[in-house]
Amino acid sequence: MKKHKLLTIAGLLISIVLLYFSMKDIRFKEIVDTLKNVDPRFVFMPTVSIFAAATLCSVKWTRIAGGNVRFADSFTALMIGLFINNVLPARIGEIARGYVLSKRTGVSLTYGITTVIIDRIFDLIGLLLITFVFFPKHSLPPRVSQAISILVLALFVLITLMVLLSRERFAGAIAKRLSTVKRPAFSKFGKRLIEIQENLKRIGSPLNLLVLVPIAFITWLCMAAALYFVLKALNININPMYIPFICVLLNMGITIPSSPGYFGLYQFLLVYLLSIFDVPKHEGFAASILFHASWYIPYNIVGFIFLIKEHLKIKEIQKLEED
């Protein structure tokens, strides 16, 4: 059995188990009653905030890609990538982003993918800043504190690696070492490192950093605003200053393998994170449903429309995983 099939099965099993635990000890009527009391004034505000985040993300990626890449190119590629992540296993949406960008602009696929990698690095920097700025004074469970420490350390290592890879001598030395390994995958990775280095060198000016880092920070604040409006719509009271921190942990947590669209995993994480701040489990689950739907449905609709508009097929995207 192929590796990606095993990962798909494992992801589905993880989703089922986590969905069970997220619903354990909750009466279905409690969830329904919570959703029935939703305030219609705030129902569409999460989706507005999420599309604001997607817009900022596209602006950031456009600046990173440079050249003749326009906002329309990056926004189209982003929405298709998000759609692919929601409907296909193995999380190949990031590769799909680079592929669509290469098709629309004529840049190489490798170049497109390296710009996605760099874009995601800036997203991680934004998450790290949110963590420091909005770290709650509220006492956290030991496991959560330990997980945060590990994640912050991992982010710090990534940022350090990004700085090192922007140095031509460092990236060249690693690429040269990899080219001596008698396996195509290593030499291909070495070439990709050189392209990453060239991109990092191009965007590594202080002015670019002063633009890209704040955009990443504000993008995550928009996602936090979406969660705030979800909680507001459901009349769930929580200190607004905790919400960006919850969003950080939620987005870090969904890197765990799960089903396409993060079903089960998303519910489990948000229910648990809200419970830390004394939100009842049934209210947390209702919030997870509304928050999940606020981006899952519109991303899929817009992404699918763009997929058709670009004359792309799902099978064409799936082949990228094999390559």
Residue 193 is assigned to a structural domain of this protein:
no
pLDDT digits (tens, 9 = 90+) for 229-282: 999 999 999 999 999 999 988 998 888 778 888 999 999 999 999 999 999 999
User: What is residue 50's predicted lDDT score, i.e. its pLDDT?
Assistant: 97
27 SS3 class: coil
User: What is residue 146's predicted lDDT score, i.e. its pLDDT?
Assistant: 78
Comparing 244 with 5, the larger pLDDT belongs to 244
- Three state DSSP letters for 102-140: HHHHCCCHHHHHHHHHHHHHHHHHHHHHHHHHCCCCCCC
Tokens (6 digits) for 48: 């507005």
> Which structural domain, as residue segments, surrounds residue 211?
3-166+204-322
Residue 175 is assigned to a structural domain of this protein:
no
Residue 194 is assigned to a structural domain of this protein:
no
Residue 111 is assigned to a structural domain of this protein:
yes
Residue 179 is assigned to a structural domain of this protein:
no
**What is the Cα–Cα distance from 223 to 225, expressed in whole angstroms?**
5
* Residue 150: count of CB within 10 angstroms of its CB: 11
Residue 196 is assigned to a structural domain of this protein:
no
User: What is residue 322's predicted lDDT score, i.e. its pLDDT?
Assistant: 61
For residue 156, what are the contacts with CB-CB under 8 A and spacing of at least 6? 128
Residue 96 is assigned to a structural domain of this protein:
yes
**What is the Cα–Cα distance from 124 to 211, expressed in whole angstroms?**
15
User: What is residue 3's predicted lDDT score, i.e. its pLDDT?
Assistant: 61
What is the domain count for the chain? Answer: 1
Comparing 50 with 188, the larger pLDDT belongs to 50
Residue 244 is assigned to a structural domain of this protein:
yes
Mean pLDDT for the stretch of residues 63-92: 91
User: What is residue 1's predicted lDDT score, i.e. its pLDDT?
Assistant: 45
**What is the Cα–Cα distance from 42 to 58, expressed in whole angstroms?**
25
Lowest mean pLDDT among 4-8, 63-67, 306-310: 4-8
Scanning the chain, the segments in alpha helix (DSSP H) are 3-23, 28-36, 45-65, 71-87, 93-105, 109-133, 142-165, 168-179, 184-203, 206-233, 243-253, 265-276, 281-309, 314-322
